[in-house]
Amino acid sequence: MSMDRSILSPTDRKSRSVRIWFFVMTLGIGVFLVISGLAPLAWLLKASLSTSQDILRDPLALFPQSGLHFENFALAWTKASVGVAIWNSIALALGVIVVNVVIAISLSYVLSVLRPRWAGVLEGAILATLFIPGVVALVPLYLTVLNVPGFNVNLLNTYWAVWLPSAASAFNVLVVKRFFDGIPRELFEAARVDGAGPWRVLWSIVLPLSKPIIGVIAIFAGFGAWKDFLWPKLVLPSPDLQPISVSLVNMARNTDLSVQMAALLLALILPLALFIIFQRQFLAGVAMTGGVKE
């Protein structure tokens, strides 16, 4: 007989009063979580359809007193250049996803499958970078982008200044490496016996089996790039290249409050839609970061 049990034993659950209180508590917690999660989104939707005076006069009103103002979205898209900023964010996120996936797969394949003699040293060095605060590397990284050693190239005001530094993600490399460790070694040995080289093993065996973990790191990298603020603010001083996370702060200086709320809602639509579409992969990412395929 299993010794595992929850706070309520099977005997307790047979009691009518216990079942009623358990249902009431579960329903109350569920309602609280739904309200706390959806209330800010509902308020943002209402504020984006209001005037600035309505927001300041009665911010907790259920409906705008002066009617619905859908023109706020048009003003945010054109006057506040939200459309340009969203396209910039999409370009940055796609580039970050590509470089993260390529670097993570390449390094993990070397460490887990090819296993050169110095693989342990390299893995330890990568792991050590996780203990370095990002703020400490901020100034050296900025100076590197300002003048890339060996190339004498200034990457400021280019997307490469965001893409290249984001590629060196020790977390992604170690997660993918652990996933590759879980792939049966017999597959690699059988492929080598059949004459497959390292590239063929990677393309025909490793990548098809690694679609789940690749999707996970792609989702996390994309969402991380979308919400990143400090680094794009430093390396992309031109407003025409700045992502939505930076543009939202800049527009607060010279834009009406209602238009700002509309811009916030427009900036939220795409990541929210992607989360709804890929929620199973996103939520499974927490479990898959263990890296071992069951």
pLDDT tens digits along 85-142:
999 999 999 999 999 999 999 999 988 888 888 888 888 888 888 888 878 888 888 9
Residue 173 lies in a domain: yes
Q: Which of 74, 93, 112 is the last residue of a domain?
A: 74
Residue 293 lies in a domain: no
Question: How many domains is the chain partitioned into structurally?
Answer: 2
Single-letter code of the amino acid located at 273: A
pLDDT of residue 124: 86
115/41 same-domain check: no
Residue 7 lies in a domain: no
Q: What is the pTM of this model?
A: 0.81
Using alpha carbons only, how large is the chain's radius of gyration in Å?
25
Q: Which of 74, 91, 123 is the last residue of a domain?
A: 74
61/95 same-domain check: no
Q: Which of 22, 48, 74 is the last residue of a domain?
A: 74
122/192 same-domain check: yes
Phi, psi of 158 (to 5 degrees): -130, 150
Neighbour count for residue 257 (Cβ, 10 Å):
17
The CATH number linked to 122 is 1.10.3720.10
- What is the average pLDDT value for the chain, to the nearest integer? 84
pLDDT of residue 8: 63
135/24 same-domain check: no
155/256 same-domain check: yes
In the numeric block, the tokens 């390094």 are attached to: 107
133/245 same-domain check: yes
Residue 84 lies in a domain: yes
87/62 same-domain check: no
pLDDT of residue 97: 93
| Mean pLDDT confidence for 262-272 | 88
The CA-CA-CA angle for residues 214, 217, 221, to 5°, reads 135
129/29 same-domain check: no
- Domain range for 161 is 80-288
92/50 same-domain check: no
